[in-house]
């Protein structure tokens, strides 16, 4: 498979998983969280899926297209080890949906990022929330969810937060 075909499949899987996640959290109150803003494409899509919910964004730095940037009061810049543990005060409510696009092309670094995310997400995610991620999240407080039709296993991941007790 060419890299272009792989990229297209990843984006199709990402869109299908985000739309499924939106369906799954339709009745769960709380904001949406985007981890890994990048150029802002998925943030922009989340704005269309959740026009009435606040969307909080976390990234190391701001590189997004100017039309795809969140308001400053919903943007957390820096390492998630510092930003996630303190975000709940500003968010005021635990997240119903977390989308994390944290892969970087290096399998070892991507796996390390996923482990770090699993450590710090409990600070902001609500029980029953959905996590959509481009990397597998191995955490005792999650359960894998079925992927939408047409999404190959391992291409994208959906989880339900089962609680932290």
DSSP assignments along 17-67, one per residue:
HHHHHHHHTTTS-S-EEEE--TTSHHHHHHHHH-TTS-EEEEESS--S-GG
Of 79, 84, 41, 83, give the one whose Cα is nearest residue 61: 79
pTM for the structure as a whole:
0.94
Question: CA 48 from chain center: how many Å?
Answer: 15
Total Cβ atoms within 10 A of residue 27? 8
Query: What is the structure's pLDDT at 104?
Result: 79
Which helix (H) or strand (E) segment is 117 a member of? Answer: helix 107-120
- What percentage of the chain carries pLDDT values higher than 70? 99
Contacts of 109 (CB under 8 A, 6+ apart): none
Query: What is the structure's pLDDT at 110?
Result: 85
Mapped onto helix, strand or coil, the DSSP state of residue 127 is strand
| 120 within 8 A of 58, measured Cβ to Cβ | no
* pLDDT tens figures, 31-69: 999 999 988 999 999 999 999 999 999 999 998 988 999
Q: What is the mean pLDDT of the chain?
A: 93
Query: What is the structure's pLDDT at 103?
Result: 83
* Whether pLDDT at 1 is above 90: no
* pLDDT tens figures, 116-145: 999 999 999 999 999 999 999 989 999 999
3-161: CATH architecture: 3-Layer(aba) Sandwich (3.40)
Q: Where do the domains of the chain lie?
A: 3-161
Query: What is the structure's pLDDT at 165?
Result: 57
* Whether pLDDT at 102 is above 80: yes
């Amino acid at each position: 498979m060419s890299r272009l075909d792989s990229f297209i499949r990843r984006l199709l899987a990402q869109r299908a998983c985000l739309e499924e996640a939106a369906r799954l959290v339709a009745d769960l109150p709380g904001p949406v969280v985007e981890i890994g803003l990048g150029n802002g494409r998925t943030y922009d899509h989340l704005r269309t899926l959740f026009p009435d919910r606040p969307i909080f964004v976390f990234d190391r730095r701001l590189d997004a297209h100017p039309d795809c940037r969140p308001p400053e009061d919903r943007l957390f810049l820096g390492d998630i080890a510092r930003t996630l543990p303190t975000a709940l005060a500003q968010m005021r409510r635990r997240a119903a949906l977390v989308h994390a696009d944290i892969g970087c092309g290096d399998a070892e670094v991507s796996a390390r990022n996923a482990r770090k995310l699993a450590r710090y997400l409990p600070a902001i995610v609500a029980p029953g929330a959905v996590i959509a991620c481009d990397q597998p999240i191995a955490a005792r407080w999650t359960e894998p969810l079925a992927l939408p039709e047409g999404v190959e296993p391992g291409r994208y991941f959906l989880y339900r937060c089962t609680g932290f007790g």
